[in-house]
Amino acid sequence: MQKLTSLDHTLLTKSVIKTLAYNNITTVFEFLQQDAEKLSTLTKLNLCQILDIRNNIFTKYSAPLVDGLFLLSKSATKKRYIDIGIESLNVVLGGGIPVGYITELCGLAGSGKTQLGFQLVVNCVRETENTILFIDTKGDFDAVRIQKILDNLGCSHQEMARALFKIKIVQIWTMEELIELFKKLKNKSVNIENLAMIIIDSLPCLMFQHFGDDNKIGLTYMNIFVNYCRYLCKNHDIGVLCINIQTRWVEQDITDYIDGKDQTYVEKQNRCLGKYWQHIPAVIILIERLKLDKPINVRNDGFHVKATVVRSNEIKLEQHCILTVDSLGVR
């Protein structure tokens, strides 16, 4: 909550702010909630001065007025999806990664999330003017893997160089660094031309150190990060893809244990990042590795995965497609 300070108006002197604080009025919101006559009595300011302070606060903190016709025309002309170059996944997503929203790619360890992320990067920059910002939090970004994917697509060395130039790699090790980067993107002190999407691989790596902390600093960082994400998505017309991990928990069935029956176990799979994050992404893509007796058209190092949309406001849920993952990419 925004604290009330002398910067909000010249009439809000230290003595006035101290008087208001003594009466439990410390924030801008609390000040605006109070009756103007009551504030006048407490602060010894006349009614016109109180109203002038309130109008100044409204002007400073309110959102600017926007014409409805402008919003309608902008909505009709702006790009809604980022084509990710995998037709079956584009269909499942209703067109691709949504512009203006946070998307989560989630799955168990070893399910192919990072390789799919690399494939999306390649597909988004190849034969387009798009630039992708890839934020590596694990220190395992491998340009050789990108080159293999490009080579498999039949790209020449010159085409590979052009594609790699449009992939901006940043290694981030803490939430503080991530927030600082997003702050610079917001105020344009860091400018990336033709930025279409930001991919973070992976967000839990930055948050695990804050899980279970008593001072809730991790939740504070997450809240700031989400607000910056939403601002960049809406104001820069980009998509943000956060790679998350699932955890697997095996619990003993207590009822069977009490009844003396054979012990049975229930497996639960949960998305990481806590309760706050659970409702943040507008779209969630769940990746599950399939165990098939006879995989079809798969290299020795490859496997099949099922990609399912488990959350979306615009398309039917539980739609899925089968993808093949190997060292040459995802298709």
| Tens of pLDDT, residues 74-109 | 677 777 899 999 999 999 998 999 999 999 999 999
Which one-letter amino acid corresponds to residue 263? Q
C-alpha triplet 104, 71, 200: angle, nearest 5°: 20
Residues 81 and 27 in one domain: no
Percent of the chain with pLDDT over 70: 92
What number of H helices and E strands is found in the chain?
A: 14, 12
**What's the confidence (pLDDT) of residue 276?**
87
Are residues 215 and 324 part of one domain?
yes
pLDDT over threshold 60, residue 301: yes
**Cα(88)–Cα(65) distance, integer angstroms:** 41
Tally the domains of the chain. 2
The pLDDT-based confidence of 127 (bands split at 50, 70, 90) is confident
pTM recorded for the entire structure: 0.76
Flag whether pLDDT at 257 surpasses 70.
no
In a domain, 66, yes or no: no
Average pLDDT over residues 299-312: 87
Specify whether 125 is located in the same domain as 170: yes
- State both tokens at 233: 């998505």
Within a domain: 1: no
User: Measured at the alpha carbon of residue 244, what is the angle toward residues 238 and 246, in degrees to the nearest 5?
Assistant: 155
Which domain, by its residues, includes 12?
6-61
DSSP run (H or E) holding 39? helix 36-43
Q: How far is it, in rounded angstroms, from Cα 84 to Cα 326?
A: 18
The whole-number pLDDT of residue 295 equals 63
Q: Quick one: 217 and 318 in the same domain? A: yes
Q: What is the DSSP pairing of strand 329-330 with strand 320-326? A: antiparallel
- State residue 247's pLDDT score: 85
